[in-house]
Amino acid sequence: MKKLVSFLLVIVSVFSAVFIVGCKGCKKPESVNCHDYKINVTFDDKNMLLTGYEVVTFYNYTDTTITELKFNLYGNAYREGAKFAPILCGQTALAYPNGLNYGYMTVDGVEVLGSQVDYSIGGDDKNVLIIPLSTEIFPEESITVKIDFTLKLTNSLTRTGYNDKTINLGNFYPILCAYADDGFKECLYYPIGDPFYSDYANYTVTLTLNEGFNVCSSGVLFDSKKVDGTATLTYKIQNAKDFAFVLSDCFDMVTGSVNGITVNYYYVTDTEPKLTLNSAIDAIKTFSNLFGDYPYKTFSVAETGFYQGGMEYPAMVMISDALQDRSAISEVTVHETAHQWWYALVGNDEVNYAFLDEGLTEYSVALFYELNPNYGFTRAEVIGMAHKSYQTYCSIYDRLFGGKDTSMCRSLSQFTSEYEYVNIAYIKGALMFDYLRIAVSDEVFFKGLKNYVKNYSFKNATPDALFGTFEALADTNGFFNSWVSGEVVI
């Protein structure tokens, strides 16, 4: 996500502010390295309801026998009475300009091996669907389940909300919890950061809706049918951690291409859409050269109602229609595009190690400015701003709270404010990479980033994965330890 607290403007703004389809026991095909979703949903724009089902094939690539599956139900965090509201109290008025209102996600039935099963809704906040399996799934085997579900959207500028112009369908379906450290990782919808952690999957998503809508999506349009005023659209994407849509009946679109990738910009109010499109294209060009090829066939940017600066999904990002200033629109577009490498291509646990993707993404923005001087900022200016922001954060916390926690490996639940989160995960994260670059040389730094991408494409990387990649090139373990532990004084 990109906070409205801009990298460049952070100092001044903080105070202004189955049926069973498959079979149990199928061997995982050699060519498949991830799960599979076939989602079929219908959108009712009168009632803002999404209903349908998903057929999910779980491949057991762990070395453990699996006896149950768990899915995160992010949409249920928007319900009345949720213990973990998805929006901070202080941002409720911003996110719900027409007043606080509620949505929900319900599971309406689950079939495994052709039979309805007694699933349960658990987790700490009714945020997890638990499906017991009557047969054990051994390593290298797979199981397919069908889940019927309903999503009710809120009238809000959130990832899963609508306003009078745009409809955000982020996190719109039950998604398999990532499997790590001998268990499925349940995610609570913390209001700070992006509380998401999933494994890679291939997606085929069919959406039926009134044909007056333009659809911005992860993935490539594979099939399209129009019957009696409704459109049925099928999209596909391979090796993705998630899938999302933004819908609007007033979207215009401009299209370009770079390195054989189609880049679409769906906009509503942007008066200079080609400039925004060019920022996305320039970012893809820059980051492909620096880190490795962009991983998908398309990249779509949606200008939409969103209470933060922007939000990333695989092959698709949201940027807020509240961004007025050209440099802010460019910066958010570049930031979200960088997430296609740090989050979409090289994944991570965004709940516990947010600095991995946000720090690298924010530093990628600094690299973008360095290599694209026509955008009007230098590396020295950007890093200088980051220094000032971080030092201001430190002095404020020292003064107000008598000290500060500058450790970087911590859960979203351990940040006391969004201000602290931005300064640790984004700003300190970006500074760490700039100091690393100075310490090891440009040659080693960029080789390390390329190796990180090569070694962890379509995998969830850990901090040790990042540190180990650089340690293989230079003596950097002490450097990283001092930064993430909070010992280093900047």
CB of 339 to Zn ion, least distance (A): 6
Of the listed pieces 1-9, 10-18, 158-166, 316-324, which binds Zn ion according to CB under 5 A?
A: 1-9
Query: Which tokens go with 50?
Result: 């999404």
Minimum CB distance to Zn ion smaller for 69 or for 302? 302
CB of 286 to Zn ion, least distance (A): 17
Minimum CB distance to Zn ion smaller for 110 or for 301? 301
Which residues, 2 to 21, sit near Zn ion by CB under 5 A? 2
* Measured distance CA(477)–CA(468) in Å, rounded: 8
CB of 160 to Zn ion, least distance (A): 18
Minimum CB distance to Zn ion smaller for 4 or for 130? 4
CB of 350 to Zn ion, least distance (A): 9
CB of 266 to Zn ion, least distance (A): 20
Total of chain residues touching Zn ion, rule CB under 5 A = 4
DSSP conformation class of 25: T
* Measured distance CA(363)–CA(383) in Å, rounded: 9
Contact 189, 86 (CB under 8 A): yes
Minimum CB distance to Zn ion smaller for 361 or for 423? 361
Minimum CB distance to Zn ion smaller for 339 or for 410? 339
Which residues, 6 or more positions from 48, have their beta carbon under 8 angstroms from its beta carbon?
103, 152, 153, 155, 162, 167
Which x/- pattern, by CB under 5 A, does the window 349-368 give for Zn ion? ---------x--x-------
| Best CA proximity match to 166, nearest among 306, 4, 316 | 306
CB of 92 to Zn ion, least distance (A): 22
Which x/- pattern, by CB under 5 A, does the window 415-454 give for Zn ion? ----------------------------------------
Place of tokens 């939409």: 304
Minimum CB distance to Zn ion smaller for 2 or for 38? 2
* Measured distance CA(131)–CA(153) in Å, rounded: 25
Place of tokens 């009557």: 134
CB of 235 to Zn ion, least distance (A): 24
* Measured distance CA(364)–CA(272) in Å, rounded: 24
**128-137 β-sheet, strand order:** 120-122, 128-137, 66-72, 175-176
CB of 393 to Zn ion, least distance (A): 18
Minimum CB distance to Zn ion smaller for 276 or for 361? 361
* Measured distance CA(278)–CA(282) in Å, rounded: 6
Place of tokens 């994260």: 429
Task: Give strand ranges (E) for 279-367.
Answer: 298-304, 310-313, 316-320, 346-348
Which residues, 6 or more positions from 228, have their beta carbon under 8 angstroms from its beta carbon?
none
Which residues, 147 to 206, sit near Zn ion by CB under 5 A? none
Task: Give strand ranges (E) for 220-314.
Answer: 220-227, 230-240, 245-248, 252-258, 261-267, 298-304, 310-313
CB of 168 to Zn ion, least distance (A): 16
* Measured distance CA(104)–CA(235) in Å, rounded: 25
Minimum CB distance to Zn ion smaller for 66 or for 302? 302
CB of 302 to Zn ion, least distance (A): 16
* Measured distance CA(327)–CA(276) in Å, rounded: 10
Phi-psi region at 458: left, alpha or beta (left = phi > 0; alpha = psi -120 to 50):
left
CB of 310 to Zn ion, least distance (A): 7
* Measured distance CA(7)–CA(423) in Å, rounded: 10
Minimum CB distance to Zn ion smaller for 361 or for 460? 361
Minimum CB distance to Zn ion smaller for 239 or for 337? 337
Phi-psi region at 122: left, alpha or beta (left = phi > 0; alpha = psi -120 to 50):
beta
| Best CA proximity match to 431, nearest among 371, 358, 353 | 358
Minimum CB distance to Zn ion smaller for 335 or for 410? 335
Interface contacts to Zn ion, rule CB under 5 A: 1-2, 358, 361
